Amino acid sequence: MYLKTLTIYGFGHFHDRTFTLDAGLNYLVGPNEAGKSTLTQFIVAILFGFPTKKHPELRYEPLDGSRFGGALTFVQAKTHYTVSRTAGPHGGTVTLHDNTTDLTLPATQLPKLLAPMDQLLFTQVYVINEPRLGQVFSASKQALIERLRHVGAVGSDYWLQRAQQMDKQADTLYKPQGRNPQLNQQLRTYQELTDKLDKANAAYETYWQLRQEQQQRQRQQADLQTQLQQQRRVTTTLTQRVSQWSTYVAWQRLAQNQQAAVSGFSATDATQLEQLRGQLTAAKQTLTADQQRIATAQQAAELPEFFQEYLPVAAQVDPLLTELPDVQLASQQQTALKTTRAELQRRATEIEAQFAQDGQMPRAFSLATTQQIDQLQQRLISANQQRRQLQQTLNQLNERYQQLQPAKAHATNPLADKQVVWLTMGLAVLIGAMFLPGAMFKLVGALLGVAVGYYGVFLVDSSTPASRQLQALTDDIRDSQAQLREKGRLIDDLTNQLDVIGTAHGLGHVPVEQWSATQAAIGEWERLTQQLETTDTQLATIAQKVTNFRQQLATVLPKLATSDDATLWQQLATIVRLKTSLKSQESELATIATRLTHDQAAVTSAQQQVTTFLRTRNLQQVDDFYDRYQVQRERASQAKQQAALAAQLGPENLAALQQVSDLAALQAQLQQAQAKQQTVQAQLDHCTERLATLAGQLAHLTTSGTQATLRQRRQNLVTEMQTTTEKWLVDRLASQWIETTLAAASGDRLPQIIAQASEFYGKLTENRYTKIELTSTTLQVQKQTGEWRTVSQLSRGTAEQLDLAVKLAFAVVMQQQVAMPLIIDDGFVNFDERRRQAAYALLAEISHKIQVILLTADTTVIQLATGRVSQLSD
């Protein structure tokens, strides 16, 4: 089979494009992003179906919205076919046309034309690129050996797996040198039971004597354990009391110092005294104030010096005195505004220290910016929630995938059961032929059994619903992973947009979560700045008013103008007061004299109440009361401490400690208890040791039971051994028959593949490696010098060349059974220049037998091209 034309309706960035191919070597040359991988996926998709929409990265849906799909024209068995595939369910809508006879064929005919090729085998062997060649390192050595050994028997994976399962099942039953297999363990158990039965027959009387002593020792052990538990409780209690002795001594000292409380010196009494003293102090203060008033009134006749200076200029000063209240209020406002300004400046400085960057405060958001940030944050929260949901879905899919894995090997369907029937029939014929007379009949019967088994292996489809379900889960997992990557890119984009906004407004050093609080602080700082400006303006106005007043006053009263504000306001107020007091001085003196008499009576009454309070408690001074009151408080505190210590000790321990004379006596009790405990412990240890000795002697005599029990166990074991042996023979014979059948089916092609791969590998490595050898356990290549190397000892490029040689050899050897084009998508990136040229020459050589489509960015192939060359542009 080879491809003639590729017609693309819409696939990736290609649309309405046609490529013509030859049956031999074809070069499609173009730079990165020119569409080489797109064309490779196009061929796979048209032949085997589009991936589901859960894997959009593999579908290559057209970027310009054109019709999704395309067509291939290929030649098979000298018949020309055209297959087209467009968007639709189940891998797309397929149309198949026979161009030779001009007939439209059913779509179900396409898999039959491609059989036995399927998408998995085609992509693993015939579609070659650097990642797939690189899998030679990630695959285990044994997996690579199995792949080469059985590559010649197409469709044998199921039966190989069944044979391996049967071998494993047989190995779990019996191994000649094994210890863990079931039959090996049963044989050892049988010998052990026989030995035990012999010993039990010889030691019956001794057994009963030891048994009676054992029962007596067990009763003694139980009594000693009870005594030991009781003695341990006594020892623990005494140890606790010894550790609490210091607490008991502190409680005892407080109890000895405790005295009965005396009434009259409580906190309530102290409060009452404070109230009486407060009343006395207030009465004395009122008396002193009234005495000062009368003295001031009596001295009023002697006018102050500044008042005498006022009298000549009263006409000029009186207009200023009318402004005095307003000026005083302005001065008070000035002081208050200074305090307010200092507080505003302090708060603004705190905000600048917290949020300013390099002395520059961040800018506030506009309404549109705030809305944009809210939208971005909501989208970011939603994206994070969706990503968590997708991660949960992916975890669930992975769990289902792991749950299906064990069941995959055992999943069956009618077709697989049919294969088992054919295989069983072949095994029956093969075994039956061994009993036929004559060598000729035996040979014919054996060949007939191999033929029947071969039919069941290779002509009956063995796919299972479990495998298809597992593939669907794999598709779902890849789709979830793609969506997770998309959500990650969206989250990064939203985060970058928020970072740009933060940098533009000077918030690059502030986390997004704190932007709201930062904006509130910025608003507060702007309000503080405005208030500072307003306060400065008010301060300037008020200061000007006070300054003008003092300047006017200085022109008429120069001495007063030099005083500070408090002295100045006091002197001016005195002038105003003296003006009025000169008129009412006589009547005021009479009023103050009457109030002094009342004040004196109040002081006398308060003093008498304090004296009475002290006398009722036999005290002379107030300080004596407070001394006695402090003593009462200390006694109450000691009582609380004593109660706390008693609660810490507990009633039982406190009573017990009171019966002990001193610490030495208590420690002596503890030592006696410990000694008794050690004695009981020693007796118990001796009894336990004797019981262990008796148990060992009894176990030595009887091991696993009495004679009757041992005989019954041995007979049961014989029955189990017969059943196990039958299972082992069935599994081992079936496995050997499957391996024999598959070896007969693939043995003629495997040596050809290995020989052809050795020849190709020598050409790719310029004869540095000349031979590939495959044994039952190892894969190695031979250098020209005769030295052998394993795959793990090769460089990456050399190992990829080995994988390429095997795949090319498979395609060449199997071309009669499976003729498919080779598609190579930039698969030689790890080859050096000389080996890359050798690879091009090898492709040109095998293109005479099979079609080769080479997609590469290496433009040097244009000068070396021996086939059709098509240019791809980016």
Q: Return the pLDDT at 222.
A: 92
Q: Return the pLDDT at 3.
A: 94
Q: What is the DSSP string of 783-813?
A: ETTS-EEEGGGS-HHHHHHHHHHHHHHHHHH
Dihedral of the alpha carbons of 688, 690, 694, 699, in degrees to the nearest 10: 50
Cα separation, 718 vs 187, in Å, equals 9
Cα separation, 728 vs 91, in Å, equals 46
Q: How many CB atoms lie within 10 A of CB 756?
A: 20
Q: Which two tokens stand for residue 685?
A: 């240890």
In a 10 Å sphere around its CB, with 0-12 CB exposed, 13-18 middle and 19+ buried, how is residue 89 labelled? exposed
Cα separation, 549 vs 833, in Å, equals 102
758 — phi, psi (to 5°)?
Answer: -60, -45
Give yes or no for a contact between 181 and 173, defined as CB atoms under 8 angstroms apart.
yes
Cα separation, 231 vs 226, in Å, equals 9
Q: Which two tokens stand for residue 86?
A: 């467009």
Dihedral of the alpha carbons of 318, 319, 322, 323, in degrees to the nearest 10: -130
Amino acid in the structure at residue 846: I
Q: What is the DSSP string of 113-157?
A: HHTT--HHHIIIIIEEEHHHHTHHHHS-HHHHHHHHHHTTSTT-H
For β-strands 769-774 and 127-129, DSSP reports them as unpaired
Q: Collect the ranges in the chain with pLDDT lower than 70.
A: 134-163, 197-205, 257-265, 291, 294-317, 328, 353-354, 357-359, 405-420, 456-464, 508, 514, 561, 578-594, 596-597, 701-708, 734-748, 750, 774-779, 874
The CATH fold assigned to 1-117+819-874 is Rossmann fold (3.40.50)
Cα separation, 757 vs 771, in Å, equals 8
For β-strands 822-825 and 127-129, DSSP reports them as parallel
Q: Which pLDDT tens digit goes with each residue over 386-430?
A: 888 888 888 888 888 888 765 444 445 555 556 667 778 877 877
Q: Which pLDDT tens digit goes with each residue over 705-742?
A: 566 677 777 788 788 888 888 777 777 776 666 665 55
Task: Name the β-bridge partners of 6.
Answer: 19, 72
Where are the strands (E) in 49-132, listed by range?
A: 69-76, 79-86, 93-98, 103-105, 127-129
50 — phi, psi (to 5°)?
Answer: -75, 145
Task: Name the β-bridge partners of 771.
Answer: 782
DSSP annotation of 861: H
Q: How many CB atoms lie within 10 A of CB 260?
A: 5
For residue 228, the number of C-alpha atoms closer than 13 Å in the C-beta half-sphere is 14
- SS3 assignment for 678-727: HHHHHHHHHHHHHHHHHHHHHHHHHCCCCHHHHHHHHHHHHHHHHHHHHH
Cα 52 from chain centre: 31
Amino acid in the structure at residue 838: A
pTM of the model: 0.39
Q: How many CB atoms lie within 10 A of CB 627?
A: 12
Task: Name the β-bridge partners of 302.
Answer: none
What contacts 150, CB < 8 A, 6 or more positions away? 156, 157, 160, 742, 746, 750
